[in-house]
Chain A
Amino acid sequence: MPSADNSHDAARPGSVPPSRGEERPGRSRLAELGRRFSAGLQDFYAAPYRRSFQRAKRDQDDLFMMLVLSEALGLPNPASYYTLELLPVVYENFHEWHTRMGMERSPLNEISCC
């Protein structure tokens, strides 16, 4: 459907008008196919490992959470002046974190999430 393709191109703001006589009707369809193939390949690469990545990210976040809270947990932390600032950022995930770490109730008196 060459006409549909052209109208689509024209409708898109800032799209390069077909010039130098290179733009053939099939070309954008070819590009579309290429894009879809590439996306499919990307999926083929990434999908089997999504869960492992999620787990690795969570482990890292858990470690980070502990660093931020270390002073409050009684571990001296030379960077506590800076990590204090991050407290509001990690607060949202605090409840999930302490339950995952096997503590049913919040271990800190200052933070009562449950």
Chain B
Amino acid sequence: MNSIVLTLIGLAIILAGYLLYSKFIGGKLYRLNDANVTPAHEFQDGVDFVPTNKYVLWGHHFTSVAGAAPIVGPAVAVIWGWAPAFLWVTLGTVFFAGMHDLGALWASIRNKGQSIGTLSGRYIGNRGRNLFLVVIFLLLLMVNAAFATVISNLLVSQPTSVIPVWGAIVVALLIGQAIYKFKWNLVVVSIVGVVALYALILVGDRFPISLPDTIMGMSAGAFWVLILFVYAGIASLLPVWMLLQPRDYINGLQLFIGLGLLYGAILLSNPTIVAPAYNNNLPPDTPSIVPLLFVTIACGAISGFHGMVASGTSSKQLDKETDARFVGYFGAVGEGLLALGTIIAVTAGFESLASWEETYSAFNQGGVVAFVQAGGSILNSGIGLPESLSATVLATMAVLFAATTMDTGVRLQRYVVEEIGGLMKFKVNTVVATIIVLVCGMGLAFGADITGSGAGGMVIWPLFGTTNQLMAALTLAIITVMLVRLRRTILPVVIPLVFVLVMTVYALIVQLGQFYAAGNWLLVVLDIIILVASIWVIFESAMAIGKARKEGPDLTDDPQLAEEHSGAQRR
């Protein structure tokens, strides 16, 4: 199969989704209307509520939601062949992710820019808020453990990326100083920062750093996981301007550069897809495609994490209501494109079917390491970068994306721990909360893997997908309740909602069996907790939707409609 043809088909599906389907749901379903005043204008305070240009806002939204996950998921899931992953990513982006992200934005702007957490209290019921805290805690726990492992795997398999990855932290620290102490112009800083990062990649490529097989009694991978958590803990406690802000910024720029490089190289080199469309020669012990595909690829098809970003920050900055379509839906499109590029890279970047099968020799083999190697060979033939340098570039990028997410994840989870502490009438200070977060994350990363290599994160990858989908289901349930109250058609939301919930529960049960068979009790317990949370989500949403159906129509969520209605009654 010709990769350019497949790329173009994928792009066409996703863009058609943006042009046609988002127009339908934005117009008919959510009825975005510029006559409604957005929270950014209503509560303008110069801090959270700031009307922002839609392209800038899209930039924020996209760089906050997209990270390593849309690379890791598809890079694992192509083991079933390229076609299932391709279809789930393209159709998922169009009918699931875009609708969900736009819906989360809509739900939030019609509710004073409140977050999904608050909205679940309002629409799902009193227990909704606690349910949300449980799901978000699990989600962040998985994110931190899984991404630490992703980074550690890359650092071990691609020793040339060690210098640029850790050097990037120094670059970020210097950028922070340049901006706040020396007041450099941001355009200049950006150019200097990106050039410095790529110079480090060149240096790293010349001087690979491999750790010895065992350090302080643990494997190299485990040692990196430990260091990463210690780093993330320190980073989350530093003032944000020093490290996290410039780091986020430079890594955000990499996202655009990375997408450009990936698609540019695919189009220039036109590699042939060697992987089968549907893999009939699956390695033994590969779990069944249904339901595992749908939780292995979460980000890139539908991800609850987006709803948090959409309702937490983006909704407070939306200048006009109709901008939501571009910011929310096109934000999901951006991530879908990253996932699509990954699928092409990991199925076309191999010389032959045999070498592809050699890499994908078992479930969770391949993954992001395969992406780096395969993508590296495509970059090599596309733009002529030496193969090892291309692999270093991609490994560094993938690590930086994962690191941004992990930094944010540790910070966010600290807030969640503080909030849970507050609910239990127990004051948790910042350092204690951070330590709790780190201990939980490391406990999962090490405990999940019974061999003790610290590579447990990859075992929990599909489990991370389930919590992510659960979060999405909670958001979709809120959107459904709002639509029922407005007496609008709910099928475009309910079908994905049911699909996601069924796949999540099914996947949790399948995985429960696997963890039980492997005797991994930590994951058995974790799986059961998530299963209980999903059943809780199903019951609460069903009850909330049923209640909204029984009650009369409530137009408060559509100011224009409510106004017309009351006007008609007065007449």
Contact = CB atoms under 8 A, between A and B. Distances in A.
Interface in A17-52: 37-38, 40-45, 47-52
Contact of A42 (B60, B186, B252, B313): B186
B187 interface: yes
Interface string B42-55: 00001110101101
Contact of A54 (B47, B55, B313): B47
A48 B187 contact: no
B415 to A, nearest CB: 11
Contacts of B46: 50
A47 B52 contact: yes
A50 B50 contact: yes
Given A38-B186, A48-B313, A52-B240, A43 B56 contact: yes
Majority SS of interface residues in chain A? Answer: helix
Interface in B29-50: 46-48, 50
Interface in B406-462: none
Nearest to B46: A50
Nearest to A43: B56
Given A40-B53, A41-B190, A42-B186, A51 B47 contact: yes
A45 B47 contact: no
Interface string A54-82: 10100000000000000000000000000
Contact of A41 (B186, B239, B248): B186
A44 B59 contact: yes
B245 A47 contact: no
A37 B187 CA distance: 9
Contact of A50 (B47, B56, B252): B47
A53 interface: yes
A66 B186 CA distance: 36
Contact of A49 (B59, B185, B240, B317): B240
B521 interface: no
A103 B55 CA distance: 44
B50 to A, nearest CB: 7
A48 B408 CA distance: 12
B53 A43 contact: yes
Contacts of B313: 48
A45 B245 contact: yes
B60 A44 contact: yes
Contacts of A48: 60, 64, 245, 248, 313
Nearest to B189: A45
B223 interface: no
B21 interface: no
Contacts of A43: 52-53, 56
A45 B56 contact: no
Interface in A78-107: none
A96 to B, nearest CB: 15
B241 A53 contact: yes
Contacts of B59: 40, 44
A45 B244 CA distance: 11
Contacts of B515: none
A51 B244 CA distance: 14
B49 to A, nearest CB: 10
B187 A47 contact: no
A44 B57 CA distance: 8
Contacts of B47: 50-51, 54
A54 B50 CA distance: 14
B56 A44 contact: yes
Contacts of B326: none
A52 B248 CA distance: 14
B60 A47 contact: yes
Given A47-B60, A48-B313, A56-B239, A40 B55 contact: yes
Nearest to A48: B60
B245 A49 contact: yes
Nearest to B317: A47
A50 B53 contact: no
A49 B241 contact: yes
Contacts of B50: 47, 50
A62 B192 CA distance: 37
A31 to B, nearest CB: 13
A45 B246 CA distance: 8
Contacts of A56: 239-240
A45 B48 contact: no
Contacts of A51: 47-48
A45 B50 CA distance: 14
Nearest to A42: B186
Interface of A: 37-38, 40-45, 47-54, 56
Interface of B: 46-48, 50, 52-53, 55-56, 59-60, 64, 179, 185-187, 190, 239-241, 244-245, 248-249, 252, 313, 317
18 contacts: A38-B187, A40-B55, A41-B186, A41-B187, A41-B190, A43-B53, A44-B59, A44-B60, A45-B179, A45-B245, A47-B50, A47-B52, A47-B317, A48-B64, A49-B241, A49-B245, A53-B241, A54-B47
Closest 10 CB pairs of A and B: A40-B56, A52-B240, A43-B56, A54-B47, A50-B47, A49-B245, A44-B59, A49-B240, A45-B249, A41-B186
